[in-house]
C-alpha cells in the first residue's frame, strides 16, 4: 500500500486532487492510501507527497508557513528521496521567488521566478484547455502525447528556469512552462485534477515514478 500525503495548508482544491489520485490509482491498479493531512509527521512517512495550490503565490506560501513544521517536513522528505508533485501554485512554489504583489521566496528547487504573464491580445488569466508541447521520453509523460490538452487557470508563470528542468510547455502568446521536474520533485502549472484522462494518466505515472 503506497501512502500518499495531500498537504492541507488552507489552499483549496484538496478534495478534487485527492479524488483524482484515488481514481488514477484505481484505474492503474495501484494500491494507495490517499490522506489529506496537516500532520508533518505523516508527510515525513509518506511514500508520495502532493502539494495542490490555487490563488496567490504569497498567500499559499504564508499558509504553508502557518502549518507548523509542514514546510520543513516536505523539504526533509524530498531531500531523503520521497517523490513530490506540485499542482498549479504547488508547482510555482518550487521556484526561487514569486513576484505576485511582493517578492516571496519559494522552495528554490528549480531556478527562476513566478512572474506576470505578458500576453498582448490574449485573455488573462489564461483559463481553459490548451495543448502540451514536449519531447516524449520522461516517465511522468508516459502514455501522454504531444498535442494533448490539459486545463489551465493562471496569470503568472515560471520564467528564467533551466531548460533541462522543463518537461513540457504550452503556447499562450508564446511558450509557457507547463510542467517541470528536478530530481524527485515535479509539478504542473495546469490542474491535473481537472484535466480528465490526461490528468489521471499523469497522476498514475507519478504514483509509479521511482526517480
> So what's the pLDDT on residue 94?
98
Q: Which residues are catalytic?
A: 88, 191, 193
> How would you label 13-22 residue by residue, b for 16+ Cβ within 10 Å and e otherwise?
bbeebbebbe
The answer to whether residue 12 scores a pLDDT higher than 80 is: no
pTM over 0.85: yes
Residue with cell 489521471: 200
Cα angle for residues 175, 60, 132 (degrees, 5° grid): 25
Alpha carbon 6 to chain centroid, angstroms:
12
Q: Who's near 86: CB < 8 A, 6+ residues apart?
A: 50, 51, 53, 92, 93, 94, 185, 186, 187, 188
Residue ranges covered by each domain of the chain? 2-208
Task: State the architecture of 2-208 in CATH terms.
Answer: 3-Layer(aba) Sandwich (3.40)
Cα separation, 33 vs 80, in Å, equals 21
The average pLDDT across 50-54 equals 92
> So what's the pLDDT on residue 101?
83
Peptide bond connecting 50 to the previous residue in cis, omega within 30 degrees of 0: no
Q: Half-sphere exposure (CA, 13 Å, Cβ side) for 140?
A: 23
The average pLDDT across 89-116 equals 95
Amino acid at each position: 500500500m503506497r501512502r500518499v500525503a495531500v498537504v492541507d495548508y488552507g489552499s483549496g482544491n484538496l478534495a478534487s486532487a485527492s479524488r483524482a489520485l484515488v481514481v488514477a490509482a484505481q484505474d492503474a491498479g495501484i494500491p494507495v492510501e490517499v490522506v489529506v493531512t496537516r500532520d508533518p509527521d505523516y508527510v515525513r512517512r509518506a511514500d508520495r507527497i502532493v502539494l495542490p495550490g490555487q490563488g496567490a503565490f504569497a498567500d499559499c506560501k504564508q499558509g504553508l508557513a502557518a502549518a507548523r513544521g509542514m514546510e520543513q517536513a516536505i523539504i526533509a522528505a524530498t531531500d531523503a528521496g520521497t517523490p513530490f508533485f506540485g499542482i498549479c501554485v504547488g508547482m510555482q512554489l518550487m521556484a526561487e521567488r514569486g513576484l505576485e504583489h511582493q517578492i516571496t521566496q519559494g522552495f528554490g528547487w528549480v531556478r527562476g521566478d513566478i512572474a506576470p504573464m505578458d500576453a498582448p491580445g490574449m485573455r488573462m488569466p489564461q483559463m481553459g484547455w490548451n495543448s502540451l508541447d514536449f519531447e516524449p521520453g520522461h516517465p511522468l509523460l508516459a502514455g501522454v502525447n504531444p498535442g494533448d490538452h490539459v486545463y489551465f487557470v493562471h496569470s503568472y508563470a515560471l520564467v528564467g528556469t533551466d531548460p533541462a528542468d522543463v518537461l513540457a510547455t504550452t503556447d499562450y502568446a508564446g511558450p509557457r512552462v507547463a510542467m517541470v521536474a528536478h530530481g524527485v520533485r515535479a509539478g504542473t502549472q495546469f490542474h491535473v485534477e481537472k484535466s480528465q484522462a490526461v490528468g489521471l494518466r499523469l497522476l498514475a505515472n507519478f504514483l509509479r515514478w521511482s526517480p
